[in-house]
Homo-oligomer: A and B are copies of this chain.
Amino acid sequence: MGDTGRFGERLAVLAHDWFPEEGKMMKGVMRYGDYAFTGIVDHRHAGESSADYLPGLPDVPIFARVEDVPRETDSLLIAERPDDGILTPLQRAEIEAALAGGWDVLSGLHRRLSDDPQFATAAAESDATIHELRHPPDEVTIAEGTAGAVDARVVLTAGTDCRQGKMTTTMELVAAVRERGIDAGALATGQTGIAITGSGVCIDRTPADFTAGAVERLVHEAADEHDLVVVEGQASILHPAYAADTIALLHGAMPDGLVLCHHATRTAFRGWERFELPSIEQFLAAYRAVTDPICPTTVVGGSLNTIGIEDDEAARDAVEAFSREIDAPATDVIRFGAGALVEAIV
Contact = CB atoms under 8 A, between A and B. Distances in A.
Contacts of A207: 204-208
Contact of A272 (B144, B237, B238, B243): B144
A244 B145 contact: no
Give the copy number.
Answer: 2
Interface string A189-231: 0000000000000011111110111000000000000000000
A274 B272 CA distance: 38
Interface string A272-285: 10110011001001
A305 B292 CA distance: 26
Interface of A: 142-145, 203-209, 211-213, 237-248, 251, 272, 274-275, 278-279, 282, 285-286, 288-290, 292-295
B241 A251 contact: yes
B247 A244 contact: yes
Contact of A243 (B144, B251, B274, B292): B251
Contact of A274 (B145, B211, B247, B285): B145
A113 B203 CA distance: 26
Q: Which of A237, A285, A294 has the most CB of B within 10 A?
A: A294
B240 A244 contact: no
Contacts of A295: 240
A242 B278 contact: no
Q: Which of A203, A244, A285, A295 has the most CB of B within 10 A?
A: A244
Given A247-B247, A285-B289, A145 B278 contact: no
Nearest to A277: B293
A228 to B, nearest CB: 23
Contact of A212 (B203, B243, B289, B292): B243
A275 B209 contact: no
Contact of A244 (B205, B244, B278, B294): B244
10 contacts: A142-B241, A145-B275, A204-B209, A207-B208, A212-B241, A212-B242, A286-B289, A289-B289, A289-B290, A290-B290
A209 B274 contact: no
A204 B208 contact: yes
Contacts of A209: 204-205, 241-242, 244-245
Q: Which of A239, A285, A289, A292 has the most CB of B within 10 A?
A: A289
Given A144-B272, A294-B278, A212 B238 contact: no
A203 B213 contact: no
A143 B237 contact: no
A274 B142 CA distance: 15
A244 B212 contact: yes
A191 to B, nearest CB: 12
A290 to B, nearest CB: 5
Contacts of A248: 208, 243-244
A240 B289 contact: no
